[in-house]
Amino acid sequence: METAADDELIRRNPCRIKGAGKETAAEREIATVAQVDAMANAVGPRWRLMVYLGAYGPMRPEEQAELRRKDVDLDRMTIRVRQAAPELTTGRRVVGDTKSEAGKRVVVLPQFLHKDLRRHLDWYAEKGQDGLLFVGEKGAPFRRSSFGRKWRRARVAAGLPENFRPYDLRHTGHTLATRSGATLRDTMARAGQSSEKAAMIYQHSDLDRQTEVAGGLDQMVRAARRKAVEQANERSGGAEVVRGA
């Protein structure tokens, strides 16, 4: 039950005891920029944007499952999260509210994702303003149960451990956003997180500040990609042009 709740296959674990296990909670793996790129490439063109939104949104899988064309503003590079569609252990897809009120938010994306976002809208998203952003090859809504094989292939390609879950991409997003200068308040607003304690202490980070955070994240990822290409060129003794930087 705990694993299902953590993977958000169920809304909450009815057996969970508040505060229990806090001291022994395992530290989650953080993927590097190169590993996120490797996963995005390995998972296939239809789903690569889902990997990037999970890491750099950072959005929960069930939030992405209910994104619509109308939620995307390509000019402003924003996505509005309105609802979520978790898949329960019974296999039923349940459309409803986000995990908390904080989950309803506008996410500003880094500019390096513009090409991927535009291409996904052109090639893979369901038609019409109310069309789902992510659908399968036969037009069915995204289901995590059928996504497992693709995820495992991508995880292996990136050299990540067996227990690395789609949800763990959010930890990568938190870490990189913090390194780019985001405050705790910024990362909470960006990830749609809330708690009783945090609600009394932190205010929402406004859209202008989120744009600054996305800009810092954009610079960090581009720099990491340039460095990876430079190191590869040094090893091969050749010279390449950095694409998309």
Residue range 112-118: mean pLDDT, rounded: 97
In a domain, 244, yes or no: no
Q: How confident is the model at residue 176 (pLDDT cuts 50, 70, 90)?
A: confident
Sign of the dihedral defined by the CA atoms of residues 54, 66, 186, 24, in that order:
negative
Q: Is residue 15 part of a domain?
A: no
- CA-nearest of 30, 53, 79 to 179 is 30
Q: What domain range is 196 assigned to? A: 2-8+26-228
Of the pLDDT bands very low, low, confident and very high (cuts 50, 70, 90), residue 195 is low
Strand partners, 72: 79
CATH of the domain at 48: 1.10.443.10
164 occurs within a structural domain: yes
Give a yes or no: residue 44 inside a domain.
yes
Q: What is the pLDDT of residue 238?
A: 57
Counted domains in the chain: 1
- Asked if residue 233 is part of any domain, the answer here is no
Kindly state the average pLDDT of the residues 177-181.
Answer: 81
Question: Residue 82: helix, strand or coil by DSSP?
Answer: coil
Would 200 be classed as within a structural domain? yes
Between 207-236 and 169-179, two packed helices, what is the crossing angle to 10 degrees? 100
* pLDDT confidence bin for 177, thresholds 50/70/90: confident
